[in-house]
Amino acid sequence: MEKIQPYPLPTERQLPKSMADWRPNSSRAALLIHDMQRYFLDFYTADAPPIAQVIDNIYRLLSVARRLHVPVFYTAQPGDMTPQQRGLLHSLWGSGMNGSQEHKQIVPPLTPLENEWVLTKWRYSAFFNSPLLSTLHELKCDQLIVCGVYAHIGCLCTAQEAYSNDIETFFIADALADFSEEKHRLALEIAAETSSVVLSTRQAIDALEH
């Protein structure tokens, strides 16, 4: 993969209109921080948009979730996947990350706490071969707030699978990043039309706190 060129995050005025009218509720929601590992983020310019602002916005969501006792999930690829484990991912993306902390680490300040769930990520969807769905059911969470990278691939696939399992899903536009502004906007449009309510970080936090 080539370096990702800086691009601006969408403003609230630029968000697509969502088909659904769901609203995040702190007693029903879980937060999913998707693939915020050094390997994936190193394709961005660290101190430039979108990724610097995305990390800040995810941290804002994370801080509110922890304060309100909203369950927090992370996804993280294990690194050093065998050809059998990687399957067809190898055809599109090669061998992927290695097993070093330089690749696998979830970036500060998003480091998981001991009481938070870190799901091993095997395919695009966070639900694939993971306990995410069963754990959401155990926690009586029927809402999922999705943020992280990359918006049009794993984040969108996860949102659509959540919707398919009757989980109200929220796609946080300025807490997601992608390969380009065009792909980012496309992911938001598809999510708004097919699976999710698209919100800004501010809107999501306002809903959770009220």
CA distance to 48, 99, 148, 189, per residue, from 56 (Å): 12, 26, 11, 23
Per-residue pLDDT, 81: 86
State which amino acid sits at residue 154: G
Per-residue pLDDT, 97: 85
Query: Catalytic site residue 42?
Result: no
* Model confidence pLDDT, tens digit, residues 19-39: 999 999 999 999 999 999 999
Confidence class for position 1, pLDDT limits 50, 70, 90 = confident
Per-residue pLDDT at 94 exceeds 90 = no
Mean pLDDT of 149-157: 98
Q: Which parts of the chain are beta strand (E)? A: 29-34, 72-76, 117-120, 143-149, 168-177, 196-199
Mean pLDDT of 188-209: 99
Q: Is the peptide bond before 150 cis (omega within 30 degrees of 0)?
A: yes
The phi, psi pair for 187, rounded to 5°, reads: -60, -40
Rounding to the nearest 10 degrees, give the CA dihedral for residues 95, 156, 108, 179: 70
Per-residue pLDDT at 41 exceeds 90 = yes
Per-residue pLDDT at 208 exceeds 90 = yes
Per-residue pLDDT, 100: 82
Identify whether the C-beta of residue 176 lies closer than 8 Å to the C-beta of residue 149: yes
Domain ranges of the chain: 24-78+86-209
Per-residue pLDDT at 187 exceeds 90 = yes
Answer positive or negative: Cα dihedral of 14, 49, 22, 202: negative
- Read out DSSP for 149-162? E-IIIIIHHHHHHH
Active-site residue, selected from the candidate residues 35, 80, 178, 206: 35
User: Residue 169 pairs with which residues in a beta bridge?
Assistant: 144, 196
Instruction: Give the Cα separation of 17 and 152 in Å (integer).
Output: 17
Per-residue pLDDT, 145: 99
26 CB burial (10 A radius; 0-12, 13-18, 19+): middle
Q: What is the chain's alpha carbon radius of gyration, rounded to the nearest angstrom?
A: 16
Mean pLDDT of 135-164: 99
Mean pLDDT of 100-123: 95
Per-residue pLDDT, 99: 80
Confidence class for position 15, pLDDT limits 50, 70, 90 = very high
Per-residue pLDDT at 164 exceeds 90 = yes
Per-residue pLDDT, 43: 97
pTM for the whole thing?
A: 0.96
Instruction: Give the Cα separation of 25 and 14 in Å (integer).
Output: 24
Q: Quick one: which H or E segment has residue 119?
A: strand 117-120
Mean pLDDT of 144-157: 99
Helices then strands (H, E): number in the chain?
9, 6
- Best CATH choice for the domain 24-78+86-209 from the list 3.40.50.2300, 3.40.50.850, 3.30.460.20, 1.10.10.10: 3.40.50.850
